[in-house]
Chains A and B, each alone.
Chain A
C-alpha cells in the first residue's frame, strides 16, 4: 500500500471522525499547556463545538451514496450515518450535562474527561462504520479503554476507583471472550471483512463445522453483549454506574450502549445472515430461542432487581439493563424492521436517559447523596425539574405520548409481526415493564407525594437547555414519531447495510 493508494481513498468519508480526532488532540494539547488552576470550561465548549461540527459533517454526508474506503473496511452507509448521529448527539448532551459537575476531583481532571470522552466517541463512531473485524475490534477497544479511565476519573474517590477496576476486569474478560469468538469466525471463514465472512459462511461446506459456527456465534454474541449490559454479562453495570461520575454513567448508559448495539448489529447480522446452523437451518433462526432467553433474562433481572434499589444511580443501572433487554427483542424476531426499531428506541432512550441523568446529576451533586431520597418533594421545591423528570420516567416506563412508548410499540410490532409471533417474549416484556412501573413510579411518588425538607435546586443554563431539549424531544417524538421515522426513511436506506462494495473505488479527485 503506497502513498498513492492511500491518497486515492475518499477520505472525506471519515470527515466526522477526523473532526473528533482533531478536536480530541487539540484538547489534550491545550489541556497540557493550561494552568492547573484555571477553569477547563472552555474545553467543554471546544469539545461541544467539535461534536457539533462532526454532526454537521454527518448531515452533509446524508445524501452520499454508500461508499467505503480502505478496501471496504470502513464504510459510510445509512446504518453508520444513522447511528453516528445518535452517538454524537448523546455525547454532545453528556458534555453539556457535565458542565456543572462540581466535585473537586473532576475539576482537576476536567480536561482529561473531555478528550477521553471524544476518544471514546471516536471509538464508537469507528464501530459504526467498520466492516472489518479488526477495525471493529480497535474501535471497540478505543471506546472501552477510554471508558475505563473515565469511570475512574475521580482519582481520590474510592468508589470511582473501584468502579473503574471492576469495569476493566469485567471488560477485559469480555474482550477476551469476544475475541475468542471472533477468532473462530475468522478461522472458519479465513476472512476478517464482514461481507466476505458472510459470503464464505454461505458458501462453505461448513456443515461439519456447524456446531463451531453456533459456538462462535454464541461466544461472540455473549461477549459483545457486555457493552450493552445484557445478561449474563450485565453484573458489572450496577457497580460501575454507581461508582462512576454521573456524566460518565450517562455516557456509559447511552452512548456506550448504543455503540454496543451497533457492533452487535454489524457483526451478528452481517456475518451470520447466511450462515447455516445445525441441520442447515439458518443460524439466525436457530439461535432465536437462545437470544430470546437472553433477552428475557435481561429484562427480568434488570427490572426485578431494580425494585430493591435505594441508590438512584444503581437503580438506573438496572433500568438500563432492562432497557437493553427490550432492545434485544428485535434481535430475536429479526424483523425486517430491526434497524428503524432499534434506532428509534435508542434515540428515545438517549433523550430520556440523558434527561433523567441530568436531573440526577443536579440533585445528587446538590445533596451530596445518591439516595433516592434526593427526589423527596421535588415537585414542591423545583417543579421545573420534577415535571421533565416525570416525562423521562414515563417514557422509560413506556407510557403513551412519550417517545419511549413509540419505541416500545415498535419493538412489539417487530416481535409480533412474524410468521411465528413471539407472544411469550412480548408477554415477558410487558410483564417486566409492569414491574418497572413500580420503581419508576416510586420516583414519581417520591417527587410528588412526599413532603420536602430540601431546598430549591438551581439549574444552570446548560443543564436547563439539556433538560428542555430532552423533555421536548421525548414529548415530540411521542406525539409525532413520524418526525424521526420520516427522517430515517427519507435519508437512510436500510438495504445499504447489506450492500457489499465489490470493486475498490480509485478516485484521485477528491
Chain B
C-alpha cells in the first residue's frame, strides 16, 4: 500500500487532464470522472493511513537534477503527520467533488470546474507527500494556482477577477518568504530534505540567529497561505469562488497548508524560541482579530471566512505554544466542521441565491437537513462540549496555558467567546426568525449535496474523540511516531480550563440568542455606544484600505515614477545625444556656405592651428 502512495496525487491529476480534454462536453456525467478518481485517492489514502497507524512509513527519492555535486531530489514520503493530512485532504476533496456535482449543476463550464478541482487536489496531495522543502514549495505554488483558478472561476465577474489576483499575489508574498527560508536553509544544510535539515538542527550545525531567520522566513510562507495577519485579506475575498471551493480550499485544506508547513518543519521552530513566540503571537492576535471582524459581517461566506482565519490563528497559536498535537488536532477537526459549515452555507445559498444574511431568515423549516447540519457545525466550532471542536480547542487553550503564555491564553478565550457569538448570530439570522427575503421556490438540496454534508456532520461530532483525556490520546501517540519530539507531551492544563472555555462559548451562544433570536437585547447597542469602533470593525479594521493607500499606491507610484524616469531621463539622455549630433551636423553644414574662399580660410586656419599646437607644445620655443 505504502509503495503505491505516489499514486494518490496522480489520480486527481489524471482527472484534471481528462476533464480538460472533455472540457467541451455538455454532459454533467463528466463529474463522475473527478469523483471516481478522487475516490480512488481517498481509498488509497485511508489504506496508507492504516499502514502508518500500524507504525509503517516510507520514503522514496530519486535525483531530479544536479547542481554541481549536489543532487536535487524528488520523491515521496509517508509519515504519521502527512498520512493524516492525506486522509483529510482526499476525504474533503472527495466529498466536495460529490457535492459540487449538485451545486454546479447547470454551469456552462461544468467539466472545467472539476478539472480545476482535480488540479488542486493533485497539488495539495503532492504537497503533503513531499519529502523535501523544494518539492513542497513547488506544490505549494501549484496549490496556489488551483486556488487562483477556482476563485476566478466566474472569470467574467470583476470581483472574482480581483479576488483571484489578490489571492495569488498575497500568497505569493508569503511564498517569497518560504522561498528565501528554503534557500537559506539549503546553503546551511546542503539539502532540502526534511531529515537532513532536522539532523543539522539537532546537531547544532546552524547558528541560532540563522535558525530563527529561516524559521521566520518559512513562517512568512505559512502566514500567506493560512491567511494570518497581516496577509489575511485575500481569504475573505476568495469567497468569490464557488462555495464548494471555499469549503475545500479556503477552509479545510489549502489554508491549513500553512499550519501543516509549520508542523512539518516543527523541529526547526522548536529550536528557536523566538520563532515559536512569533508564531504564537501572530496566531493569537489573528484569532481574535479575525473573530472581531466576523462579528459584524453580513455575507454568510465572509463570516465563515473570517472564522476560518480566526481558527487558523488558533492552530498557529497552538503550534507556537508548543502544542504540536493540539494544532494538528484542531486542524483535523476544523477541516471537518468548517467544510461542513461551508457546504451547508453553500446549500443555503443554492436555495436562496443570495449570500446576504439580511435577506435570509427562517430557513430552518425549509431546509430540514441543512439546518441541523449547520447547527452541528456551529456547535462544534463554538466548542460546545462533546463535539469535536470542544476537545481540540480545549487542548489548544491547555497548551497555551501550560506554555506560560497567559496573555495569549486569555486572548484565545475571548476569541472563543466571539466565535460562538458570531456563529450563532449567523445561525439565528439565517435559520430562525421570519424570512426577510423572497423565499419562493426554496427547497432542500439534492442528496448528492446533502450526503457529503451528512458525512462531514458525523465527523464533526466524532473527530474529537481522536484525542481525549477520557478515551485515550490516540492522536498524540500516533503523531509521536513522526520526526517531531513532543516536548510537552500531553497538555493537561489546570482542570478549570475546559470550564472556562465552555463558559465562554456558552456565553457567546447565549448572547447571540438574546440578541438575534429573542431580541431582548438590541443588536445595535454596540453600534450606538461605540460608533467608531464598530465602524472600524465593520470595515474590517480598514486593513484593505490601509494596504491600498500604502503598498498598492506606493507600488503604483513607484511604477509611474519609473515610467517618467524611463521617458525623460533614459530616453531623454538618448535624445540629448541625438540632438547633439544633429546640432553638430547643423553647424557642419552651416559652415559649408558655398563660398570657396571660406573653405580656403578654414583650411588655412586648420593648418595654422596645427602649426601653433606644434609650436606651443613641441617645445621649439622653450
Would A and B touch once assembled, by the CB under 8 A criterion?
Answer: yes
Task: Determine if A304 and B613 form an interchain contact, defined as CB atoms under 8 angstroms apart.
Answer: no
Is A93 interfacial (CB-CB < 8 Å)?
no
Task: Determine if A308 and B607 form an interchain contact, defined as CB atoms under 8 angstroms apart.
Answer: no
Task: Determine if A218 and B585 form an interchain contact, defined as CB atoms under 8 angstroms apart.
Answer: no
Task: Determine if A170 and B599 form an interchain contact, defined as CB atoms under 8 angstroms apart.
Answer: yes
Q: Which residues of B contact A101 (CB under 8 A)?
A: none
Alpha-carbon distance between A301 and B606 when the two chains are bound, in angstroms? 13
Mask: chain A, 202-236; 1 = CB below 8 Å from B; 0 = not: 00000000110011001100100000000111011
Q: Which residues of B contact A306 (CB under 8 A)?
A: 585
Is B605 interfacial (CB-CB < 8 Å)?
yes
Is A165 interfacial (CB-CB < 8 Å)?
yes
Is B62 interfacial (CB-CB < 8 Å)?
no
Contact residues, A411-441 vs B (CB, 8 A) = 435
Which residue in chain A gives the minimum CB-CB distance to B600? A173
- Dominant secondary structure of chain A at its interface with chain B: helix
Contact residues, B573-622 vs A (CB, 8 A) = 581-582, 584-586, 588-589, 591-592, 594, 596-600, 602-603, 605-607, 610-611, 613-615, 618-620
The contact size tier of chain B is 20 to 34
Assuming the A-B contacts A304-B585, A307-B581, are A211 and B610 also in contact, with contact meaning beta carbons closer than 8 angstroms in the complex? no
Select B585's contact among A174, A238, A308, beta carbons within 8 Å: A308
Task: Determine if B596 and A279 form an interchain contact, defined as CB atoms under 8 angstroms apart.
Answer: no
Task: Determine if A169 and B596 form an interchain contact, defined as CB atoms under 8 angstroms apart.
Answer: yes
Task: Determine if A211 and B582 form an interchain contact, defined as CB atoms under 8 angstroms apart.
Answer: no
Is A456 interfacial (CB-CB < 8 Å)?
no
Is A269 interfacial (CB-CB < 8 Å)?
no
Task: Determine if A214 and B618 form an interchain contact, defined as CB atoms under 8 angstroms apart.
Answer: yes
Q: Which residues of B contact A238 (CB under 8 A)?
A: 592
Is A305 interfacial (CB-CB < 8 Å)?
yes
Q: Which residues of B contact A211 (CB under 8 A)?
A: 614-615, 618, 620
Mask: chain A, 56-100; 1 = CB below 8 Å from B; 0 = not: 000000000000000000000000000000000000000000000
Contact residues, B289-317 vs A (CB, 8 A) = none
Task: Determine if B619 and A279 form an interchain contact, defined as CB atoms under 8 angstroms apart.
Answer: yes
Task: Determine if A170 and B589 form an interchain contact, defined as CB atoms under 8 angstroms apart.
Answer: no
Mask: chain A, 297-314; 1 = CB below 8 Å from B; 0 = not: 000110011111100000
Question: In the complex, what's the smallest C-beta–C-beta distance from B579 to chain A, in angstroms?
Answer: 12
Task: Determine if B603 and A218 form an interchain contact, defined as CB atoms under 8 angstroms apart.
Answer: no
Question: In the complex, what's the smallest C-beta–C-beta distance from A219 to chain B, in angstroms?
Answer: 7
Task: Determine if A278 and B588 form an interchain contact, defined as CB atoms under 8 angstroms apart.
Answer: no
Task: Determine if B619 and A301 form an interchain contact, defined as CB atoms under 8 angstroms apart.
Answer: no
Which residue in chain B gives the minimum CB-CB distance to A181? B607
Q: Which residues of A contact B619 (CB under 8 A)?
A: 278-279
Select B584's contact among A219, A231, A304, A309, beta carbons within 8 Å: A304
Q: Which residues of B contact A174 (CB under 8 A)?
A: 603
Task: Determine if B614 and A173 form an interchain contact, defined as CB atoms under 8 angstroms apart.
Answer: no
Question: In the complex, what's the smallest C-beta–C-beta distance from A451 to chain B, in angstroms?
Answer: 27
Alpha-carbon distance between A304 and B578 when the two chains are bound, in angstroms? 11
Alpha-carbon distance between A463 and B8 when the two chains are bound, in angstroms? 79
Task: Determine if A232 and B588 form an interchain contact, defined as CB atoms under 8 angstroms apart.
Answer: no
Q: Which residues of B contact A308 (CB under 8 A)?
A: 582, 585-586, 588-589
Is A290 interfacial (CB-CB < 8 Å)?
yes
Is A177 interfacial (CB-CB < 8 Å)?
yes
Alpha-carbon distance between A210 and B615 when the two chains are bound, in angstroms? 11
Question: In the complex, what's the smallest C-beta–C-beta distance from B35 to chain A, in angstroms?
Answer: 61
Please indicate which of the listed interface residues A165, A222, A231 has the most CB atoms of chain B within 10 Å of its own CB.
A222
Alpha-carbon distance between A214 and B614 when the two chains are bound, in angstroms? 8
Select B614's contact among A177, A290, A305, beta carbons within 8 Å: A290
Q: Which residues of A contact B588 (CB under 8 A)?
A: 301, 304-305, 308
Task: Determine if A232 and B620 form an interchain contact, defined as CB atoms under 8 angstroms apart.
Answer: no
Task: Determine if B600 and A170 form an interchain contact, defined as CB atoms under 8 angstroms apart.
Answer: yes
The contact size tier of chain A is 35 or more
Task: Determine if A177 and B592 form an interchain contact, defined as CB atoms under 8 angstroms apart.
Answer: no
Question: In the complex, what's the smallest C-beta–C-beta distance from B499 to chain A, in angstroms?
Answer: 86
Alpha-carbon distance between A279 and B611 when the two chains are bound, in angstroms? 17
Which residue in chain B gives the minimum CB-CB distance to A435? B581
Q: Which residues of A contact B599 (CB under 8 A)?
A: 166, 170, 235-236
Task: Determine if B620 and A278 form an interchain contact, defined as CB atoms under 8 angstroms apart.
Answer: yes
Alpha-carbon distance between A238 and B589 when the two chains are bound, in angstroms? 10
Task: Determine if A307 and B582 form an interchain contact, defined as CB atoms under 8 angstroms apart.
Answer: yes
Select A235's contact among B582, B584, B585, B602, beta carbons within 8 Å: B602
Which residue in chain A gives the minimum CB-CB distance to B621? A211
Alpha-carbon distance between A217 and B620 when the two chains are bound, in angstroms? 15
Task: Determine if A290 and B585 form an interchain contact, defined as CB atoms under 8 angstroms apart.
Answer: no
Question: In the complex, what's the smallest C-beta–C-beta distance from B587 to chain A, in angstroms?
Answer: 9
Mask: chain A, 275-294; 1 = CB below 8 Å from B; 0 = not: 00111000000100010011
Task: Determine if A305 and B585 form an interchain contact, defined as CB atoms under 8 angstroms apart.
Answer: yes
Q: Which residues of B contact A304 (CB under 8 A)?
A: 581, 584-585, 588
Is A239 interfacial (CB-CB < 8 Å)?
yes
Q: Which residues of A contact B600 (CB under 8 A)?
A: 169-170, 173
Question: In the complex, what's the smallest C-beta–C-beta distance from B208 to chain A, in angstroms?
Answer: 54
Question: In the complex, what's the smallest C-beta–C-beta distance from B591 to chain A, in angstroms?
Answer: 8
Q: Which residues of A contact B581 (CB under 8 A)?
A: 304, 307, 435
Task: Determine if A236 and B596 form an interchain contact, defined as CB atoms under 8 angstroms apart.
Answer: yes
Mask: chain A, 1-28; 1 = CB below 8 Å from B; 0 = not: 0000000000000000000000000000
Assuming the A-B contacts A211-B615, A214-B618, A239-B596, are A173 and B603 also in contact, with contact meaning beta carbons closer than 8 angstroms in the complex? yes
Question: In the complex, what's the smallest C-beta–C-beta distance from B585 to chain A, in angstroms?
Answer: 4
Q: Which residues of B contact A277 (CB under 8 A)?
A: 618
Task: Determine if B607 and A218 form an interchain contact, defined as CB atoms under 8 angstroms apart.
Answer: yes
Question: In the complex, what's the smallest C-beta–C-beta distance from A424 to chain B, in angstroms?
Answer: 17
Select A222's contact among B582, B592, B597, B606, beta carbons within 8 Å: B606
Alpha-carbon distance between A290 and B618 when the two chains are bound, in angstroms? 11
Q: Which residues of A contact B605 (CB under 8 A)?
A: 232
Which residue in chain A gives the minimum CB-CB distance to B605? A232
Q: Which residues of A contact B611 (CB under 8 A)?
A: 215, 218-219
Q: Which residues of A contact B592 (CB under 8 A)?
A: 235, 238-239, 305
Question: In the complex, what's the smallest C-beta–C-beta distance from B580 to chain A, in angstroms?
Answer: 10
Task: Determine if B606 and A290 form an interchain contact, defined as CB atoms under 8 angstroms apart.
Answer: no
Question: In the complex, what's the smallest C-beta–C-beta distance from A300 to chain B, in angstroms?
Answer: 8
Mask: chain A, 153-195; 1 = CB below 8 Å from B; 0 = not: 0000000000001100110011001000000000000000000
Select B602's contact among A232, A239, A294, A309, beta carbons within 8 Å: A232
Alpha-carbon distance between A402 and B613 when the two chains are bound, in angstroms? 39
Task: Determine if B607 and A232 form an interchain contact, defined as CB atoms under 8 angstroms apart.
Answer: yes
Question: In the complex, what's the smallest C-beta–C-beta distance from B211 to chain A, in angstroms?
Answer: 53
Task: Determine if B594 and A219 form an interchain contact, defined as CB atoms under 8 angstroms apart.
Answer: no
Alpha-carbon distance between A300 and B583 when the two chains are bound, in angstroms? 13
Assuming the A-B contacts A173-B600, A236-B596, A304-B584, are A219 and B614 also in contact, with contact meaning beta carbons closer than 8 angstroms in the complex? no
Q: Which residues of B contact A210 (CB under 8 A)?
A: 620
Alpha-carbon distance between A286 and B588 when the two chains are bound, in angstroms? 29
Q: Which residues of A contact B582 (CB under 8 A)?
A: 307-308
Which residue in chain A gives the minimum CB-CB distance to B596? A166
Task: Determine if A177 and B607 form an interchain contact, defined as CB atoms under 8 angstroms apart.
Answer: yes
Alpha-carbon distance between A214 and B611 when the two chains are bound, in angstroms? 9
Question: In the complex, what's the smallest C-beta–C-beta distance from A307 to chain B, in angstroms?
Answer: 4
Task: Determine if B589 and A290 form an interchain contact, defined as CB atoms under 8 angstroms apart.
Answer: no
Please indicate which of the listed interface residues A170, A214, A232 has the most CB atoms of chain B within 10 Å of its own CB.
A232
Question: In the complex, what's the smallest C-beta–C-beta distance from A470 to chain B, in angstroms?
Answer: 29
Which residue in chain A gives the minimum CB-CB distance to B583? A304
Question: In the complex, what's the smallest C-beta–C-beta distance from A191 to chain B, in angstroms?
Answer: 24
* 5 further interface pairs, Cβ-Cβ under 8 Å (given A232-B607, A239-B594, A305-B588): A170-B600, A218-B614, A235-B598, A239-B592, A300-B584
30 contacts between A and B (CB under 8 A): A169-B600, A170-B596, A170-B599, A173-B600, A211-B615, A214-B614, A215-B614, A218-B607, A218-B611, A218-B614, A222-B610, A231-B606, A232-B603, A233-B606, A236-B596, A239-B594, A239-B596, A278-B614, A278-B618, A279-B619, A286-B618, A290-B610, A290-B614, A293-B610, A305-B589, A308-B585, A308-B586, A308-B588, A308-B589, A309-B589
Give A residues with C-beta under 8 Å from B. 165-166, 169-170, 173-174, 177, 210-211, 214-215, 218-219, 222, 231-233, 235-236, 238-239, 277-279, 286, 290, 293-294, 300-301, 304-309, 435
- List the 8 closest pairs (A to B, CB-CB), nearest first: A232-B606, A305-B588, A235-B599, A211-B620, A166-B596, A307-B585, A278-B618, A233-B603
